[in-house]
Amino acid sequence: MKVGIVGAGMVGSAAGYAMALTGAASRIVLVDRDAALATAQAQDIAHAVPFASAASVEAGDYAALSGADVVILSAGVGQKPGESRLALLTRNAAVFEAVIGAVRAAAPDAILLVATNPVDIMTHVATRLSGLAPGRVIGSGTILDTARFRSLLAGHLGLAPHSVHAYVLGEHGDSEVLGWSGARVGSEPLASVAAQLGAAITADVRARIDEGVRGAAYRIIEGKGATNYGIGAGLARIVQAIGRDEQAVLSVSVVTQEAAGVRDVALSLPRVVGAGGVSATLTPTLDTAETEALGASARLLRETADALDL
DSSP assignment string, 216-242: HHHHHHHHHS---HHHHHHHHHHHHHH
Residue 75 contacts residue 42 (beta carbons within 8 Å):
no
Residue type, 227: T
Q: Cis (ω within 30 of 0) for the bond into 50? A: no
172 catalytic? Reply is: yes
Query: How many angstroms separate the CA atoms of 250 and 136, rounded?
Result: 15
Residue 209 contacts residue 150 (beta carbons within 8 Å):
no
The residue annotated as part of the active site, out of 124, 156, 165, 172, is 172
Nearest partner of 286 among 166, 172, 202, 139, judged by Cα: 166
The length of the chain, given as a count of residues? 310
Active-site residues, by number, are: 172
